[in-house]
Structure formats: structure tokens, C-alpha cells
Structure 1
Amino acid sequence: MTDPRPVIASVRDGRGLDGPGAALIAQGLADGSVSDAQAAAFAMAILTKGAGPAGRVALTRAMRDSGQVLQWDLSGPVVDKHSTGGIGDTVSLVLAPLLAARGVFVPMVSGRGLGHTGGTLDKLESIPGFICDQPQQDFARIVRQVGCAIVSATGDVAPADKRLYGIRDESGTVESIDLITASILSKKLAAGLDALVLDVKAGSGAIMKKPDSAPRLARALVDTANGAGCVTSAMITDMDQPLARSAGNALEVAEAIRVLQGEKGALRDLTLALAAECLRLAGQSADGLESTLDSGAAAQVFGRMVAAQGGPTDLMEQAQAYLLPAPVIMPVYGPAAGRVARIDVTALGHAVVALGGGRVRAGEVIDPRVGLDRMAKLGDDVGPDRPLGFVHAADETAAQVAIAAVQAAYHLGDDGHSGPLIRERITA
């Protein structure tokens, strides 16, 4: 069968999606034999009727297999972590070298930011010389020698997803759980993983904000990944406040380096929890994980990874010399003294984008210097001598706009209680 229309009709009429049908659609997306109109019709049929659990697995596998699937011959397990995106979420920069320091290999294929959440690659590219676009042979060499590498996906990785991703945006089908699941997992599973841990964000800064959306997505991801042959679990984590105290590319890298060098806080706590889960799924002990971080072993691995990917060899010793500050740094004060009761975290992300630290459209150039730091968290007391945070901007006009946006994002009151960092753990 080479005509995609019967496959589309089957999904549209509620008869589901089988393996051959998914393979036909995925291959047609990759080679162009499925038209944009047919792809949009397929996406809309999935959105309205659903693919079902078996159809999700079939579509994920087919999209994974539409391009290159990596194979590894290494001395330890191959694992990765994926986050659905939030503000101040720089876990990957700490977790990958931490796991590598424990003898686990982490070939992390990451993305760039679009919308209110930051992208791991954008953060790393704030380091002078750092190259995310690594040829496959160099990617494999760095993973083998260093234990981890964080790179962009090549055009050979899940090309069906790359095409469908853009069509989903144009056809109004972005929110389909089935399509989100297949999109995330097809790229991750193409990395040839033994195990995967998913960090699904919930709260005001999450991409999916409905109360039941994070558990639904987490369950779909876990069941589909395991069904496709990769041992996977998920944690639903809090995004009702920024994870770290910084938001903005160079600022977040600087904070991640401080965590690698011993700084405490929620970023460290979540990284340790997710790393322990990665080790558990890989059949490794998590005992002594904090000691591995505190010993500086993970920091050494991060420095080696940065150097191997084209960055400076002395970043860990001279971070301030390489992560240059913005021209204008200004405090943000609230309207009165009080306690932080609620934060519109998505609004903080949009403030960073407006400063030039993120993208509205793919391909836009970003300014790595700008962003927010020392952000107040839920329950913090703020006042004339305790600002809500600091704006880092290219000029004073941009700073004033960001100050107003940050002030509007913070709400003071009596109830400043923060919920648990990890809300739920989802397993197969």
C-alpha cells in the first residue's frame, strides 16, 4: 500500500492506526510522498479520534525509524533525560556530566528554545566556541571519551517528525497527546538509549497547564516508550515557580556551573533525583550520588565536555571571563513589602524572550547575555531592600519593559507556600 488516504480514513473513522499504516505515513513524511495536505489531515484525525495506545507505539517506532537510529558499543549503559520545558530548568547541564562521572554514557540530543521556555542548546552556545552541531562521528567520539555530549539533532534523526512538527503548528494540532508523545520519543529513542527518564512539568510555567494534562502526558510517554522497547519512567515536577533563580542563557549556564561546584537549591535537588532515577533504570546503584557531585567529579566532566565541543578549556576556572554580562543590570522592586504568594512563570519566560533571550519564530538570533537572575521564589519576603529579582538587558528601554513584566508576574499575599518539587512518579 502506497496511498496514505486509507490510513487517514482509518484514523478519522475511529478504526485506529496499525504498524504498516504508521510506517507508510512516517516514510511518506520523510521522503515527501505524503503531501502537506495529507499530513495535516492525518494530524487532525489523530487529534480528534486518537491513535490509541498501540497506535502511539506504532507511530513512535515508525517516526524513529524514518531516519538514522544510533547504535552504541560502550562499557556502560546509555541513558538520557528529557524535560517538557520550563523556566530556569538547566538540569541537563548538571545531570549529563554527573551520570558520566558514574560510568553511565549520556548521548543527549537537545533542542533550541521556542516560545517561553529556554533551549538547552541556546544555553550552551552562550559559551564562546561551543559547537552543538557535531557530525555523527564526532558525537560518538566525544560520548565515548568524555562520557556525555549535548548536541543538536542532525537532519538524519527522525526526519518524519521534523516535517510533521511544522505542519502541526500550521494545522492547529499541536496539543494532541498522541502527536506530542510520538514527537518527543521518536527523537529520543533514535539515540539508541537503554533507559530514559522524563521530567514532565506541571504548573503555571509548564507548556500544558490543565490540571490533568501533565499526568496524562507522562503516562502516555512512559507506556509508549516502554512499548517501543526503551525502559522509561517519568517524574511530574513543579513549575509553579522557576526551578533555578536565573532565566536567560549565560545566566543559567553560570548557575549550573555553581551547582556543579557545590551550590545548593532546587536545581541541585531535582538533578540528583532525576539522576538517581536514571541510574535505577540502568540497573546501577545511586548510592553516593551527592558525594559524586560534591567531589567535583561532575564539574570536571562538564569542563571536558565543553572543551571537546569547541569551548574554552578553562571554563570551570574562569566562567565569569567567558559568560559576559549584559550592559544594563537593574533590580526589580515590588509595589510594597510582602511575601511572594503566586508567580506567573510563563510571564517570566515571555519577559526573557522580549529582552532578546528567546525566540518567537524559529531561526531568530538571541542575545545570550540578557535575562533575569536572583529571582524571588514562593514564600520569599520582598521589600525595599529585597527585590523580586534583577533584569539583565541590552539597554535601559528594554530593561524598563522587563521590569514592568516581572512586577506583573509576581503576586504578594499571605499564602506563600510552595508545593513539592516532585509531585508524582510514573512507572511502567
Structure 2
Amino acid sequence: MNGNNNTPKISIKDVLAKKHAGGELSKDEIAAIVEGTYKETMDPSQIDKHSKGGVSDRVSLPLAPALAACGYKQPVATRYALCCSVDKHSKGGVSDKVSLTLAPALAACGYKVPMISGVALGHTGGTLDKLEAIPGFTIALDHAQMVNSLQNVGCFIASQTKDICPADKVLYNIRDMTSTVKENGLIASSIVSKKAAENLKALILDVKIGSGAFMETMENARSLAQTMVNCSTGLGIHTRALITDMDTPIGNMIGNTLEVAEAIQCLKGQGPKDLTDLVVALGGNLLEAGQFKDISDVDEGSRLIRQSLQDGSALKKFQEMLQAQNVSTEHAQKLCDPEGDVWSVLERSASQSEIFSSKTGYVQSIAAMPVALTVLKLGGGRERKGEPINHRVGVELLVDVGDFVKEGQAWARIHHDSSSIAPEITKNLNSALVISENPIPTRQTRVREVVKPSIQ
């Protein structure tokens, strides 16, 4: 962080005492805590006291820029931030491959997408893990490579570098140790600080709700969404949040390589309706929020995103992004050939086993959590940081909510590398399927609510 030699030194002890007494911290006091975190002049117990007191909007607003300011800001900002730099962030989920489709779609519409993403932990999949299922794909880009991708392609999806919000990494690890990870103000500050480091004009947030999400109630989801939107808006980023349903997996493929294949199908204009509609909704709301001169409303933004998926321009941008991030030209062309077979490049699992319905009736629901845990137990996720994962394994859903199925009909296919599947894995997956005797109406949209800023 850049300090001012004329600024009186702030006592961390006094700041923490003030916070413990219920006082609201000033912008400079919050910056002092961030600097103490980054420079390791505060120990975890001190930061724990600051975190457990709760973080209100008045604190999270200055906390995010303080976190962002302690590190590097992408140089692309000087050229694009005031015109067309945009991004999206999702709060976890099952089979969420939206970023793989939305980033190139936005680039095809002329926007710049400097997407910093993460890896899987627990039941939620990670965008970077999905991309690493593509042979040769490099997630670690230096500053020059990021700028080159934005200038020549229009988008990249990469891992966070050590220079972007370094204090946030330290703070997150301490929050993890002190069980304050789920505090809304800290979640908002952490997410928004990294987006602020991207120098965005507009940001769309996807806050999941349901059995497969971290937020299981509308009240909690709405509270987190509002905090993040207000925090981001306070930094001058035009921001919206969509609260979206996560009771069932997105699309039909769950697992890293499988999800890449499905994302590419979506880019070819042939993806599952719920995935395509979610990409379009997020993109349309993002462009409307950005107040871009050519976007009159959400419908116009949505039309542009959908058109890019249908006319091949988003697919072309995806191919360019692959090549810019070290995928061979041959592989990128095969993956993005409208008539090609992605499995000529992507690696399949050694075996596939079908799972059969024990009842006749209509599919009432396919619970996201048992499906996600099945993939995790197959080795397709990680329960602890740093664990290796098997990109090939996963679950393929053969039916949708509302479909009629007969007893003995295959409703799912497990992709695995073992010679057999443990009975508990099959039992767990079967628990996801709920059959009703009565017809079930098809879901029209995953979007439950749109959250706009409550501050100016």
C-alpha cells in the first residue's frame, strides 16, 4: 500500500478496541487493518476479533478498496475501464459452467472481460478446474499475457496472481482458521476487492440459492446479494445481482471435462435451455447495468448475447481464447468446429455406468447436492486445498425435471475410471431423483430475483 509520510500513525490496538466496543471504523482505520494484515504486523487473533464483530455495509464499502489498493491493478484499466470492461462472479453452485460461455459471448459483443477465477473446493466446481481439463490450457497468466489477451481476443479466464489483492489472500486464510469465512461483509469485501483490481465498468453477480448452494434461504441470499451490490457500487462499478435457483444442477453434465463439452455445445447454439437462458439473463442484465450507450434495456442486452451464441461469434472468441492460453491451434479448431466431435480432443473416463429409476412417474426434482457429492466421491472435486482431481469423472443426467420415466429406465450415467462403482455412491446418486405420480410443470427460468443498488 502506498502510505503518506505526513499521515499520523494509527494504533492497531486502539482501532481494535474501538471495534470491540461497537464503534464504526473510519476509512483510514480500516486501511490500517488491511495493511497490518498484509505486512503481518497483526496476528490472527487480532484479525479474528475484528472479523467476529461483524462487518456492516459502512465497513465493507471502504474495506474492499483498501484490499484492492494493497496490490496490483491490471494495466488494461487505463485503456478499457471507462468504456467496456465487464465481468461476472458466481457464488458457487453445481455444474456452473456459465463463465466458459459468457466470457467469450461478451467478447464477441465487443466488451473486454478480464476474468479472474478460482478452483473447486467441496461440492462446488471451479471454473479453472474445468478449463484445465482442456489439453494445454494455461490458467496462470502474467500481466503482459492478460493485456495481450484483452487486446487481441477480448477476454481471458485466469487464476489470481500473487500481486492482485495480496492482503485478501492472507485475510481469507485467517478467516478460514477462525471460522469467519461466511460473514457477509467479509465475503462481499473479498469478492469485490478482486473485481475492483480488474478496473471494471460493470459487474454481474450470480448468487445461488437452494440445496446445492451456500445460501439456502431467500433472506440470506438477498442479504448477501445486496451487500455485494452496494459494496461494488460504492467503488463506482455498475453492479447487479441475480438470485438464481440451485436446487438442481445447471444443464445435464456435472464434472470438469463433461462440463467443458456442454459449454462448447452451448457456444455452438445447441446447449441445454436452462444453461443458455442463464447465460443470456446474466449477460443481458450485465450490459443493462453498465449503461452502455447501445444497450437500451435488459432485453436488448440479452438479444446480443443470444445472437452471439447462435451466429458462431462467441464460439470463435472461445477458440481465440483457447489459443491465447496455450491450447494448440489443432486442438482449438477441433473443439470449436461446429460439426466436430469434442471427444477427439477431450479425454473420456475409462468406464460409463447407467443408473436406473426404481419408479414410474414424472421427474419432480433432481437434487443438486447428492449429484455434486457423487462427483466429489468419484474424485472429480477436492475436499481440501491442493488435492489433485480427476477431470474425466462425473455424472450425466439423461432426464430433465418434468420428464416421464418408467421403472427400470436409465436416468443418469456415471463416468468413472474404476472397474466398479461403490454401492454407497450409487445409493447417494439415486437419492437425488424424486418421482411424482402427477405431471410436473417445466421451470421457466432459474432467476428468482434481480437485486439493484440500495445506495447511490
TM-score, with structure 1 as normaliser: 0.95
- 258-267 or 294-303: bigger deviation: 258-267
Q: Which residue of the partner structure matches residue 366 of structure 2?
A: 343
SS in 2 for 1:363: coil
**1:262-411, aligned counterparts within 5 Å?**
262-264=269-271, 265-282=273-290, 283=292, 284-285=294-295, 286=301, 287-313=303-329, 314=333, 315-317=335-337, 318-384=341-407, 386-398=409-421, 400-411=423-434
**Are the equivalent residues in 1 in contact too, given 2:362–2:402 (CA < 8 A)?**
yes
- The match for 1:53 among 28, 50, 57 is 57
| Deviation per residue, 1:185-226 (Å, 9 max, x gap) | 111211111110001111111112133111111111111110
1-structure distance, mates of 2:426, 2:35: 48
Shift of 1:312: 2.8
**Are the equivalent residues in 1 in contact too, given 2:396–2:414 (CA < 8 A)?**
yes
- 287-296 or 54-63: bigger deviation: 287-296
- 205-214 or 412-421: bigger deviation: 412-421
**1:232-271, aligned counterparts within 5 Å?**
232-264=239-271, 265-271=273-279
Shift of 1:58: 1.0
Shift of 1:28: 1.4
Q: Tell whether 2:42 aligns with 1:34.
A: yes
- CA separation of 1:10 and 1:418: change in aligned 2, threshold 3 A: farther
| Deviation per residue, 1:9-53 (Å, 9 max, x gap) | 22222212221121011111111111122122222222xxxx322
Q: Tell whether 2:118 aligns with 1:90.
A: no
Shift of 1:384: 4.1
1-structure distance, mates of 2:420, 2:13: 54
**Are the equivalent residues in 2 in contact too, given 1:333–1:383 (CA < 8 A)?**
no
**Are the equivalent residues in 1 in contact too, given 2:10–2:29 (CA < 8 A)?**
no
- CA separation of 1:67 and 1:413: change in aligned 2, threshold 3 A: same
1-structure distance, mates of 2:281, 2:177: 37
- Give the gaps of 5 or more residues in structure 2: 1-8, 296-300
Q: Tell whether 2:168 aligns with 1:161.
A: yes
**Are the equivalent residues in 2 in contact too, given 1:241–1:377 (CA < 8 A)?**
no
Q: Which residue of the partner structure matches residue 422 of structure 1?
A: 447
**Are the equivalent residues in 2 in contact too, given 1:111–1:119 (CA < 8 A)?**
yes
- CA separation of 1:306 and 1:385: change in aligned 2, threshold 3 A: farther
Q: Which residue of the partner structure matches residue 413 of structure 1?
A: 436
Amino acid at match of 1:170: M
SS in 2 for 1:27: helix
**Are the equivalent residues in 2 in contact too, given 1:242–1:377 (CA < 8 A)?**
no
**Are the equivalent residues in 2 in contact too, given 1:348–1:409 (CA < 8 A)?**
yes
Q: Which residue of the partner structure matches residue 139 of structure 1?
A: 146
**Are the equivalent residues in 2 in contact too, given 1:8–1:45 (CA < 8 A)?**
no
What is the root-mean-square deviation in Å for CA atoms of aligned residues?
Answer: 1.7
Q: Which residue of the partner structure matches residue 68 of structure 1?
A: 72
- The match for 1:212 among 219, 235, 243 is 219
| Deviation per residue, 1:249-308 (Å, 9 max, x gap) | 000000000011111411111101111122222314224432221110100100110011
- 108-117 or 211-220: bigger deviation: 211-220
Q: Which residue of the partner structure matches residue 14 of structure 1?
A: 22
SS in 1 for 2:254: coil
1-structure distance, mates of 2:409, 2:156: 39
Amino acid at match of 1:85: G
Amino acid at match of 1:239: M
Amino acid at match of 2:64: T
SS in 2 for 1:391: strand
Shift of 1:376: 3.4
Shift of 1:414: 4.2
Count matched residues: 424
- CA separation of 1:340 and 1:11: change in aligned 2, threshold 3 A: farther
- CA separation of 1:18 and 1:40: change in aligned 2, threshold 3 A: same
| Identical columns (%) | 36
1-structure distance, mates of 2:269, 2:308: 11
1-structure distance, mates of 2:14, 2:442: 50
Amino acid at match of 2:284: A
Shift of 1:333: 1.3
Shift of 1:322: 1.6
- The match for 1:108 among 106, 115, 139 is 115
Shift of 1:2: 4.5
**Are the equivalent residues in 2 in contact too, given 1:393–1:399 (CA < 8 A)?**
no
Q: Which residue of the partner structure matches residue 84 of structure 2?
A: 77
**Are the equivalent residues in 2 in contact too, given 1:328–1:399 (CA < 8 A)?**
no
Q: Tell whether 2:219 aligns with 1:201.
A: no
Amino acid at match of 2:372: G
TM-score, with structure 2 as normaliser: 0.89
**Are the equivalent residues in 2 in contact too, given 1:204–1:346 (CA < 8 A)?**
yes
- 277-286 or 89-98: bigger deviation: 277-286
**Are the equivalent residues in 1 in contact too, given 2:354–2:410 (CA < 8 A)?**
yes
Shift of 1:426: 0.8
**Are the equivalent residues in 2 in contact too, given 1:246–1:373 (CA < 8 A)?**
yes
- CA separation of 1:385 and 1:101: change in aligned 2, threshold 3 A: farther
Amino acid at match of 1:203: G
Shift of 1:344: 2.9
